[in-house]
Chains A and B, each alone.
Chain A
Amino acid sequence: MLEVENLTHAYGDAPPVVSGIDLEVKPGELVSIVGPSGCGKSTLLRCIAGLQAPTGGRVRLDGKPVDRVPGNLAVVFQDYSRSLFPWMSVRDNVALPLRRRGMNRAQRQENALKALESVGLPGAAAKYPWQLSGGMQQRVAIARALAYGPKFLIMDEPFGSVDAQTREDLEDLVLRVRGNSGMTILLVTHDIDESVYVGDRVVVLSKGPARVRADLSVELPTARDQITTRELPEFVHLRAEVGRLVRGREAADEPKS
């Protein structure tokens, strides 16, 4: 599905922020990416999405080189609030991209409403984005990407602004959508627990420039549950390992059980 080969990117004359990244994602896989703040995760995602031409290396999606944004790809931007259009209602924000899916107006509106319901915002359809809280806006951005129904979904810290309970609901929603539609997902997160809980694999990036420090496969049952999965010994073990890799070995805590 996605092949990233020796990807390198530098902004202007500055030293590269992403350096020599190799990554392969299989169809239907959900890969979490974790790494310290500012290490170049968003830059990596922008290069993969075709929004930014990398200064070196190759990105291929379905065997085709990515030189602009592919049609079967959607992005949930980290800066969700600025990626929503303030002059449109929430429903129109979600419905607008569906034009590309050849739906008529009624179908677009209906699908938008369904997507908003799935993220727990059935009442917000007629509101404007700026009338919503940050967490609600973030969920609108997620609903927009899900309604669009891409084959490949890129999410840049998509659950950063929502409360713990909603966050768990959204994690499960993403897992469910992936299960139903076979979407391939690349998800950046700051939350180590989350990276393990949702991921089939966890890719840990190192800081300045971003390199792949570890690529761990998550050996947990496919059906996940917020309570029971998180108490499995494999989960606890993996979480500790990812934590150590992210923070550097010196500062690592012993795994809590």
Chain B
Amino acid sequence: MTVITGDHPAERPTGVPGLRILTGGVTRLWLVALLVGCWEIIARIKQDAYFPPPSTIVRVFHELWFSGPATHLFLTDKALDDFQPSFVNLSCGWALAAVVGLALGVLLGRSGVAREILDPVLQFGRAIPPPTLIPFFIVVFDFGAQMQISTIAFGVIWPVLLNTADGVRTVEKLQLETAEVFGITGATQLLRITLPAAAPKIFAGLRVSLGFALVLMVISELIGSTTGIGAHLISSQQGMELPEMWAGIVLLGILGCLFNAVFALVERRFLSWHSNARGLDS
């Protein structure tokens, strides 16, 4: 089983967090700003229809989705139409994968028999590229949210499942023995010992699957949907509206960053013991 490790050393600085993020953001963003600046200049000189200047993209971006009334948080109707289905599908698919993956992973990590029996099935399931199942899900569910959620869930369950199984299987033996000695068994053991011990690996799996989920969300919308950000991309492609298309691409990039940031925040909250313990060890 390949497993994504939960290691990310040399992070988690101490100090005033807000200030850190701000100065860190400034030092890391200058290259982005430089590239955008170059793009702007070149695009204006070249006047190429395929590569509109960033300023145009930003304007379209704003017009399309963020020029609504203040009572709607400046979101336009189109924004609600585009964001909502995408967001719902993504969250449901990912959450479903997380819950089922976690449960199966715990089962697999705990029971050698289950591992032996299920391993070939899992290896095969994992090897199937998730988009290839879209036709199947279309047949089963027809176009729509169910099909998209199934595609996402099936595609992103593997990192969670395999990482959870590995994390649960490799819990320090002495920690389990300690639990046994002190009568920490059953559900208490699972919740207080096994899952926290496996948490670094579980979170690594969840992080990877969140990235996959975004990809599969777009793919499923590109193929079979009239709503969502993917459908917006397709319709602007068909109308040759390149600034609109670019705005969609930028939006997806921003969404990806946003999800990552929120996830990192949650992870930091739950795993601070882990990174800190490692920090002091080395």
Is the CB of A82 closer than 8 A to any CB of chain B? yes
Q: A96 near B175 (CB under 8 angstroms)? A: no
CA distance A85 to B183 in the complex (A): 15
Q: B184 near A96 (CB under 8 angstroms)? A: yes
B274 partner residues in chain A, CB cutoff 8 A: 86-87
Q: A82 near B196 (CB under 8 angstroms)? A: no
Interface residues of A in 148-184 (CB under 8 A from B): 148
Q: B174 near A82 (CB under 8 angstroms)? A: yes
Interface residues of A in 42-97 (CB under 8 A from B): 49, 51, 68-69, 71, 73-75, 77, 79, 82-83, 85-88, 96-97
Contact count band on B: 20 to 34
Q: A87 near B181 (CB under 8 angstroms)? A: no
Q: B184 near A99 (CB under 8 angstroms)? A: yes
Interface centre among B172, B188, B273, B276 (most CB of A within 10 A): B273
Q: A85 near B193 (CB under 8 angstroms)? A: yes
B182 partner residues in chain A, CB cutoff 8 A: 74, 96-97, 100, 144, 148
Is the CB of A217 closer than 8 A to any CB of chain B? no
Q: A87 near B174 (CB under 8 angstroms)? A: no
CA distance A74 to B180 in the complex (A): 10
Contact (A71, B174) CB under 8 Å given A128-B273, A128-B276: no
Interface residues of B in 159-180 (CB under 8 A from A): 172, 174-175, 177-178, 180
Interface residues of B in 84-122 (CB under 8 A from A): none
Interface residues of B in 182-219 (CB under 8 A from A): 182-184, 188, 192-193, 196-197, 199
CA distance A75 to B182 in the complex (A): 8
Q: A87 near B281 (CB under 8 angstroms)? A: no
B180 partner residues in chain A, CB cutoff 8 A: 51, 68-69
CB of B100, distance to nearest CB on chain A (Å): 24
Is the CB of A131 closer than 8 A to any CB of chain B? yes
CA distance A195 to B280 in the complex (A): 34
Q: Which residue of A lies closest to B279 (CB)?
A: A130
B174, B188, B277: the one contacting A128 at CB < 8 Å is: B277
A96 partner residues in chain B, CB cutoff 8 A: 182, 184, 192
CB of B282, distance to nearest CB on chain A (Å): 12
Q: Which residue of B lies closest to A141 (CB)?
A: B178
Interface residues of B in 226-274 (CB under 8 A from A): 273-274
Task: List 29 A–B pairs whose Cβ atoms lie within 8 Å, in order of A's numbering.
Answer: A51-B177, A68-B180, A69-B181, A71-B183, A73-B181, A74-B181, A77-B174, A77-B177, A77-B178, A82-B174, A83-B174, A83-B175, A85-B178, A85-B192, A86-B273, A86-B274, A86-B277, A87-B197, A87-B274, A88-B192, A97-B183, A97-B184, A99-B183, A99-B188, A100-B183, A100-B184, A131-B280, A144-B182, A148-B182
A residues apposed to B, CB below 8 Å? 49, 51, 68-69, 71, 73-75, 77, 79, 82-83, 85-88, 96-97, 99-100, 128, 130-131, 144, 148
